[in-house]
Amino acid sequence: MGRNAQSISKICMLGVDLLMIFVILGTQDKKFPRLLDALQKKIDEGKISKKEEIIVQAGSTKYESKNMKIIDYMSVRKFEECIDRADLIICHAGVGTILTALKKGKKIIAAARLKQYGEHVNDHQLQILDNFTAEGYILALEDFDKIDLLIKQAKHFTPAKFKSNKRYFLRQLEKEINILG
């Protein structure tokens, strides 16, 4: 905990936990409004509190909301500050984004960008989503109509502690190089 308890973004008002949710859509040139539409729909329905602080790093996704603070691109410093402050990360299933949040011990809900919606060139993020979910690192958002339920589940979710497999990967790569060389 920091030196000032007021810097913690989660507060309790009338027994309701309010979160700082950081939504990360990445910096791809492809848009991903489907995730923001799902959040906005649940806010409008009252299933996600309008008092939750929701900050969005939107990349090339142009979106307007009176309930979410939308920022196209952030400096690295601002991005890191938002991750540090966040109680929950909701993001696309990009490896870099997930690893950055995992290394900071954050709770993560991730959604795959899909080719059928023009959100990516293929569906490789489904495999990323499956792998990180199977290891217990993240919660997978597969049904966008249930994003509010997943946010509630995330409040009690304890992600597995991240363990890098970089050494294993490097050993395997070295073996392959030796076979070829």
The DSSP string of 71-114 is ES---HHHHHHHHHH-SEEEEES-HHHHHHHHHTT-EEEEE---
Give the end-to-end CA distance of the chain in Å, rounded to a whole number: 51
* Of 155, 60, 74, residue with least CA distance to 107: 155
Work out the burial of residue 56: count CB atoms within 10 Å of its CB; fewer than 13 is exposed, 13-18 middle, 19 or more buried: buried
> Residue 14 region, left (φ>0) first, then alpha (ψ -120 to 50), else beta?
left
* 141 touches 90 (CB < 8 A): yes
Residue 101: its pLDDT value, please?
A: 95
Give the chain's count of helices (H) and strands (E).
6, 8
pLDDT band at 94 (very low <50, low <70, confident <90, very high): very high
In the numeric block, the tokens 């979410």 are attached to 68
- Residue 9 clears pLDDT 50, i.e. is over it: no
60 or 168, greater pLDDT:
60
pLDDT (average), residues 116-140? 91
As a whole number of angstroms, the distance between CA 102 and CA 162 comes to 6
Which of the four pLDDT bands, split at 50, 70 and 90, describes residue 17?
A: low
pTM: 0.82
* Residue 178, CA atoms < 13 Å, CB-side half-sphere: 6
Task: Give the orientation angle of helix 33-44 with respect to helix 147-154, to 10 degrees.
Answer: 80
The CA distance from 33 to 125, in Å, is 16
The sign of the dihedral angle between the CA atoms of 41, 46, 130, 160 is positive
